[in-house]
Structure 1
Amino acid sequence: MDPAKKPLVSNTGAWAMNIVSSVGIIMANKQLMSSGGYGFCFATTLTGFHFAITGLVGMISNKTGYSTSKQVPFWELLWFSAVANLSITGMNFSLMLNTVGLYQISKLSIIPVVCLMEWMLHGKTFSSRVITSVLTVAFGVGVCTVTDVDINGKGFLCACVAVVCTSLQQITIGSLQKKYNIGSFDLLSKTAPIQAASLLIVGPFADYYMNKRSLLDYQFTCGAIFFILLSCSLAVFCNMSQYLCIGRFSAVSFQVLGHMKTVCVLVLGWVLFDSVLTTKNIIGMALAVVGMITYSWAVEADKLKPTKAAPLLPLKADIQAEEETMRLLKGLLKGAEPGQTKS
């Protein structure tokens, strides 16, 4: 394959993995957590399960040689894990205390907050066409998802914490990868056990506060266990692809193109769960897609603007990340073969 095309193919694969795994985990969690499904309403604890399985896969991968481990100061891993956990719990509490409309607005506000933090921390600037396309995406997704908006003090505070921590988490992923020249899955393998331990300790109490239900009282059926395992399996690919995407692109790009998942969820909800798809939803989705296409064009145009030099070859870090991901996926698929069943 032409060396200039390799990054494009691997970047597309990373985005596709993230979108498919993210949409898949949302569909699995909807069945697992909804009252019409298995009623497993322990979101924070479930996230702890996700990171526990991800950490286990990372440990096995390192032991078997599918990935390599580099040194990162423990205090930086601890700080990052604390920010990431605050992002998760903040989003959960925001969803519980706020209306769906305010919750969606808080998620949309992550994009401008990321842009602001990138400018403050790294001095990064954005062209007018990039800003216009970002606003188009946000407006389109807002038309799709935002309904009623009712603000209360506690809910607004939780939403602010969630937005700031989520933005800081996504910026820090890319910064740590560049600072220590560490692969995406290697970084995830180091942070996942810390996040799992803290979430599994705090999670049951946070979930009890949100739902007034104890995890010890939940009746685990075969169906519920199956969907928990499915959710955890998808979470491995979702977490890995998130780190891989942010390491290759930027936190802003990840947020903008990540809204494609919102569009996919709306469409699949209409197809699989008989959700209502209104004219307003369709117009909003169309605007969001146009904004995403415009954003991609604007970013590429900005890259070509300073110079029209020969196409850049893939960086060493990109090649390392791609090789690491391919080794890991081969290991996962090879490990999955004995458990396959015939239909």
Structure 2
Amino acid sequence: MAFNFCSSTGIVSANKLVFDRGFHFATTLTLLHFVFTTLGLLIAMKAGAFPFKRLDAAKAAKLAAAGMGFVVFSNLSLQFNSVGFYQVMKHLTVAAVVAIEAVVFRRVLPRPLCAPVACLCVGIAITGATDFQLNVTGTVCAVLNVVFTAFYQIWCGALQRSLGANPLQLQLYIAPMSAVGLLPFVPLLDDYRRSSPASIWAWTPTPGVVGLIALTGVLAFCVNVSIFWVIGRTSAVSYNVLGHAKTTTLLTLDYVAFGRPLEWANATGLVVAITGVVTYTQQKLRLSQRAAAAGSAAAGGGGTGR
């Protein structure tokens, strides 16, 4: 959990520092993250961390496309938005997943979860409307990040179950596919024109920024591996509490390290949004525990009857 906490909060902070220090090429940075993740997974597999499993490449490609979109727009959102708005908008994925499942899969949200989701949406609306860095480009990137992340989460869970693969085996397929699929878009989304003064060719690398870029690549791999460890070795309660701790830390860092001004309207929005997230998590866990208890009781009753 400590490893996941440090790598998750570290990659957001490191990415933001990279952008703030003049490297404004989020898609190129995303490509490097996929390359680092692929290399790290290959090394981990060779070291015996997980066995290779042959998967359906066509099914994995669909997930790779969604993963490519959510990482690209995640980095673009972080480039154009404040850390606070970026982090709070990520929680809107909960509402997006609910909406997609309702429309596509006809899964109705349980009544106890409706109020927390509404609270989350209201908080995010207040936060966005009062954010000191609010801009059209950043807002569009944040919304697209939410949409791609929602589809990625839905498809990832379904694909793991259908293929019988663990997250690292699936990532070993997705990361290189995403890297290759992203290549044609890099010169379109980033400035690669030789004649442009703002192009990547005009960027002057410094040891500090190059080191930060390499660090973000290593952290990208660490985040993927540590999520697998945390989910496998802790409870759902611990995993969700860890998520809230990361959000609180990143919001605090936005005020302390990245110069976010303290505005009461914006702070109120953040509090309302986080309240919705925490309440949603608590209600979701209660419903899961009740369902598990009901399943155990039914199984016990069936055994007694026989």
Q: TM-score, normalised by structure 1?
A: 0.68
* Partner AA of 2:7 in structure 1: S
Query: Against the structure 1 CA distance between its residues 21 and 118, is the aligned structure 2 distance closer, same or farther, given a 3 Å change threshold?
Result: farther
* Aligned match of 1:78: 61
1:160-183 CA deviation, whole Å, 9 max, x = no partner?
654433321111111111111211
Alpha-carbon separation, structure 2, partners of 1:83 and 1:217: 31
Matched, 1:22 2:33: no
Query: Quick one: which amino acid aligns to residue 213 of structure 1?
Result: A
Q: 1:219 to 1:75 in 2, by over 3 A?
A: same
Amino acid at match of 2:223: C
Distance 2:16 2:76 in 1: 18
Q: Which whole-Å CA distance do the structure 2 matches of 1:102 and 1:184 have between them?
A: 28
User: Deviation at 1:271?
Assistant: 1.7
Residue 92 of structure 2 contacts residue 120 of structure 2 at CA under 8 Å; is this kept in 1? no
- Report the CA distance between 1:286 and its aligned residue: 3.0
Q: How does 1:1-343 map to 2 (within 5 A)?
A: 13=1, 18-34=4-20, 37=21, 39-90=22-73, 109-147=92-130, 162-208=145-191, 213-241=198-226, 261-306=246-291, 308=293
Matches of 2:275 and 2:84, distance apart in 1: 23
Distance 2:241 2:100 in 1: 15
Amino acid at match of 1:44: T
Note the C-alpha offset of 1:228.
0.5
1:337 corresponding residue in structure 2: none
Query: Which residue identity lines up with residue 161 of structure 2 in the other structure?
Result: K
Identity of aligned residues (%): 31
Q: Deviations over 1:278-335 (max 9, x none)?
A: 22343333333432332232112212434636989xxxxxxxxxxxxxxxxxxxxxxx
Q: CA deviation at 1:82?
A: 1.8
119 and 289 in structure 1: CA distance in 2 versus 1, 3 angstrom threshold: same
Confirm or deny: 8 A CA contact 2:96 2:147 kept in the other structure: yes
**1:96-152 CA distances to partner (integer Å, 9 max, x unpaired)?**
899999989975653322112223454533222212112223333443343377779
The range that moved more, 94-103 or 293-302, is 94-103
- C-alpha deviations, 1:218-276, integer Å up to 9, x for none? 22211111101111111112234556778999xxxx99985765543221122223321
Secondary structure of 2:98's match? helix
**Alignment RMSD (CA, Å):** 4.0
Gaps of 5+ in 2: 298-306
Report the residue type matching 2:24 in the other structure: C
Unaligned 5+ segments in structure 1 are 1-12, 313-343
**Matched letter for residue 9 of structure 2:** V
AA matched with 2:66: V
CA contact (8 A) 1:130 1:295 kept: yes
Aligned-pair distance for 1:31? 1.5
